[in-house]
């Protein structure tokens, strides 16, 4: 709620990447419950050292603590920290998400099929027909992904903001990383079950395999990317949304 020159925010958000280490955060908060769900949301830039934050890191199956559950209890945010107009945060959020999807898709430089092919050669497995087929599939996907990246970089260099094409890139990257993880474990064989820096096969490929499912969810799940591609790239009819015009306060939800 608004209080003079400040907004006072209480609530909870799970899966906030980097929350435990960040100085600034993006906060989307409902400021008008009488609007339907995509309206009445305001986009705040929030100082993470503000009083009222309680941050609980969450451990993933990789062992890392990439994201946190964040609780806000009366956090005060200057009104000047609103990005865009009050109640119109969803439009800014779409731009943020498009950028995030491009970053997720382009930010996996260490997951290089070339390194796996080299490992297959060293282990005398590069002529294995089944493994070879899986690695070639990954190699082709990595090349296509590179060209998607070039196209996005060219658009950005001309000042064109990223749009739904980053959903294509993110979906493509998620599939690539899934297949790469599978191929790497097939190559390592039983050694893949030993996960430690001093294990015979180390742990890098196993870590990538374990992290791949997160890429299918972060920044919007694969299914949601497919919907965006269908509706905003291919121009197919929108999926039915019975709650699209209902005020947020009237939506059925837990505890109501």
Ligand X SMILES: Cc1cc2nc3c(=O)[nH]c(=O)nc-3n(C[C@H](O)[C@H](O)[C@H](O)COP(=O)(O)OP(=O)(O)OC[C@H]3O[C@@H](n4cnc5c(N)ncnc54)[C@H](O)[C@@H]3O)c2cc1C
Q: Taking the C-alpha atoms of 134, 135, 138 and 139 in order, what is their torsion angle to the nearest 10 degrees? A: -140
Shorter beta-carbon distance to ligand X: residue 115 or 217: 217
Contact 84, 92 (CB under 8 A): yes
Q: In whole angstroms, what is the distance from residue 49 CA to residue 52 CA?
A: 9
Shorter beta-carbon distance to ligand X: residue 151 or 238: 238
Residues annotated as catalytic are: 100
Output the smallest distance, CB 97 to ligand X, in A.
Answer: 9
Output the smallest distance, CB 120 to ligand X, in A.
Answer: 29
3: which 2 tokens?
Answer: 């209080």
Shorter beta-carbon distance to ligand X: residue 27 or 131: 27
Interface residues with ligand X (CB under 6 A)?
15-17, 66-67, 214, 217-221, 223-224, 227
Phi–psi pair at 129, nearest 5 degrees: -65, -35
Q: In whole angstroms, what is the distance from residue 210 CA to residue 212 CA?
A: 6
Output the smallest distance, CB 176 to ligand X, in A.
Answer: 16
Contact 243, 251 (CB under 8 A): yes
Output the smallest distance, CB 174 to ligand X, in A.
Answer: 11
Shorter beta-carbon distance to ligand X: residue 199 or 230: 230
Q: In whole angstroms, what is the distance from residue 239 CA to residue 146 CA?
A: 31
């Amino acid at each position: 709620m608004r209080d003079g020159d400040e907004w006072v925010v209480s609530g909870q958000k799970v899966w906030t990447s980097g929350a435990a280490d960040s100085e600034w955060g993006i906060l989307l908060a409902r400021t008008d419950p009488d609007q339907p769900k995509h309206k009445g949301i305001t986009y705040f830039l929030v100082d993470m050292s503000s009083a009222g934050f309680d941050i609980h890191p969450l451990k993933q199956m990789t062992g890392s603590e990439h994201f946190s559950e964040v609780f806000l209890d009366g956090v005060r945010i200057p009104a000047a920290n609103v990005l865009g107009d009050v109640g119109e945060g969803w439009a800014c959020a779409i731009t943020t998400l498009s950028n995030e999807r491009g970053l997720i898709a382009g930010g996996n430089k260490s997951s290089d099929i070339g390194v796996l092919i080299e490992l297959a050669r060293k282990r005398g497995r590069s002529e294995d027909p089944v493994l070879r087929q899986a690695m070639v599939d990954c190699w082709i996907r990595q090349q296509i992904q590179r060209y998607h990246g070039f196209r996005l970089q060219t658009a950005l260099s001309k000042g064109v903001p990223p749009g739904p094409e980053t959903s294509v890139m993110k979906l493509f990257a998620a599939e690539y990383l899934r297949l790469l993880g599978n191929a790497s474990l097939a190559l390592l064989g039983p050694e893949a079950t030993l996960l430690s820096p001093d294990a015979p096969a180390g742990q890098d490929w196993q870590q990538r395999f374990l992290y791949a499912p997160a890429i299918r969810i972060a920044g919007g799940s694969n299914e949601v990317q497919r919907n965006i591609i269908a509706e905003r790239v291919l121009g197919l009819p929108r999926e039915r949304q019975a709650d699209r015009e209902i005020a947020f306060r009237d939506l059925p939800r837990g505890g109501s």
